[in-house]
Amino acid sequence: METPVASAAPTNLLGLPRPELEAFVATLGSKPFRARQLMGWIYKRGEGRFDAMSDLARDFRAQLAQVAEVRTPEIVREMQSADGTRKWLLRAESSQAFETVFIPETDRGTLCISSQVGCALDCAFCSTAQQGFNRNLTAAEIVGQVWLANRELGLDAQGHRRVTNVVLMGMGEPLANFRNVVPAIRILLDDLGFDISRRRVTLSTSGLVPQIYKLAEEVNCALAVSLHAPHDALRDQLVPINRKHPIAELLEACWHYIDEQNGRSVTFEYVMLDGVNDQLEHARELVRLLKGRPAKLNLIPFNPFPGTRFRRSPMPVITRFRDELVQRGVLATIRRTRGDDIDAACGQLAGKVNDRTRVRLGDKLAGAMAS
């Protein structure tokens, strides 16, 4: 059997779901079990050097070295918070960078990963949105964030990986990069991949309704939705995609996703903005929307960034808001702010976005509505 001639661009095996990896090894004249071996080395053992994959046949390793690679994003900078949160700035290419954050807790280690360089959805309270948008991350760049974090963090005292949960809540709108996000999630869930429970992989969306329906047909993971307002007039201002997919339409898609995937509940994220969406009447409106539904609210203290017009709601106001929801039958929790001293908290990730898309979603929607 002849070894294929090496191409100018080797195939990056990182980010290939199992069927695609099996198809790739078939082009080398090998059987599907070789793909399973490769996945074990790449994802279970975190190995990217083919010559170190000792149970692969020597000639197969030689073939791989000529036509393939395991290429991850490059770490540009690492920062560590006083509370133990770690943030990595990763290079997408020479002038673009994105961020990944690890949040350690006593019972879990959560990695918040990005899906795009920047974001085009223009949510008013989010630092990432103010950076504009450059491009989607590839599946390799998405799963590469988990691969790198596992390597950098090492194992805990019991010999377990420190990353137990993955949330797609970093830079970008995951459902706007559906083509790359879904294969990445499949690798996170695959028992030959990272083998993470579906309840420990969460996709967060600002509300791309058609893609939520499509997601229900593709993968089974936890769903989080950036709600941030109890009625359309306010959400139109805070989350511009609401002008295209209003709350009633969004909620219908959420309940469909839970029914199709036999899920427990949808988590609705609600950033607490002083004097904007934090009054008791707002809480009561949320009750009318969510009571009796498979829903829980995660109240997020606003994390400021340079140039923002918003302020964080005082903690007594947030606590009173939470209590009002709970007393009226809606499960609600308050998210603990982590990593804000290194700009790693929710809504603060900015990365480095050059050659950005100047016209953002909010501008496009406003123009369409005016015409």
Catalytic positions, please? 99, 346
Task: Name the residue among 103, 100, 102 with its Cα closest to residue 89.
Answer: 100
Cβ-contact 341, 82 below 8 angstroms: yes
Category of 309 on φ-ψ map: left (φ > 0), alpha (ψ -120 to 50) or beta: alpha
- Tokens matching residue 286: 């949320």
DSSP state of 33: H
* Cβ-based neighbour number of residue 266 at 10 Å: 23
Contacts of 306 (CB under 8 A, 6+ apart): none
Q: What would the DSSP string read from start to end of 231-293?
A: SHHHHHHH-GGGGTS-HHHHHHHHHHHHHHHT-S-EEEEEEEBTTTT-SHHHHHHHHHHHTTS
Cβ-contact 202, 221 below 8 angstroms: yes
- Tokens matching residue 25: 């090894």
